């Protein structure tokens, strides 16, 4: 399934999750400009997933609608690619990569099979907007929305830290 969703300027407020035809099938609640956490809701308004940074950490924790831990996202060191790892516990460890100056990412399982792809489709002065194509039979769409937004939040946090340390 193809999903489209975006961040808001100042990373707060509610934004729609849409399918390829532009129908609203869920929403993202970007809770606060200061807190970097979010909830994902299905079309019925039920909370199905949440994401937030762990306390004093750059790791993004993803939980299900009932608060159960689904996985942990972290950035991996790499010189020529953007690389992340999503540890979904017994469901596997997934590698997320993108060439250095690209806005297109692939998510691969432990066998190297591409199970999802996403890309940033917004322009330079726009809030981050994403297209997600999920082919996984293990990770659902809502969980991958939280993963994509987690990557967005980790990159924003790292860019902010780099900018403040250069002054």
Q: Distance between CA atoms of 88 and 69, rounded to whole angstroms?
A: 9
Query: Looking at the 3D structure of the chain, how many domains does it have?
Result: 1
Per-residue pLDDT reduced to its tens digit, 1-27: 799 998 765 557 899 999 999 999 999
User: Could you give the percent of the chain with pLDDT greater than 70?
Assistant: 85
Q: What is residue 22's predicted lDDT score, i.e. its pLDDT?
A: 92
* Location of structure tokens 């707060």: 12
DSSP state at residue 52? E
Which CATH number do you get for residue 51? 2.40.160.200
The residue segments making up the domain with residue 138 are 2-165
Per-residue pLDDT reduced to its tens digit, 65-79: 999 999 999 999 888
- What pTM did the predictor assign? 0.89
């Amino acid at each position: 399934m193809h999903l489209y969703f975006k961040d808001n300027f100042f990373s707060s407020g509610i934004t729609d999750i849409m399918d390829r035809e532009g129908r609203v099938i869920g929403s993202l609640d970007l809770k606060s400009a200061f807190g970097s956490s979010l909830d994902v809701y299905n079309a019925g308004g039920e909370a199905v997933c949440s994401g937030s940074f762990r306390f004093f950490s750059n790791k993004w924790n993803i939980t299900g609608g009932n608060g159960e831990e689904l996985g942990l996202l972290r950035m991996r060191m790499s010189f020529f690619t953007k690389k992340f790892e999503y540890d979904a516990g017994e469901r596997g460890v997934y590698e997320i990569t993108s060439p250095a100056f690209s806005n297109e990412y692939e998510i691969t399982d432990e066998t190297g099979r591409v199970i999802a792809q996403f890309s940033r489709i917004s322009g330079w002065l726009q809030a981050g907007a994403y297209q997600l194509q999920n082919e996984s039979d293990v990770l659902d769409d809502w969980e991958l929305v939280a993963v994509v937004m987690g990557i967005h939040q980790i990159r924003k946090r790292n860019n902010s830290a780099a900018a403040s340390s250069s002054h």
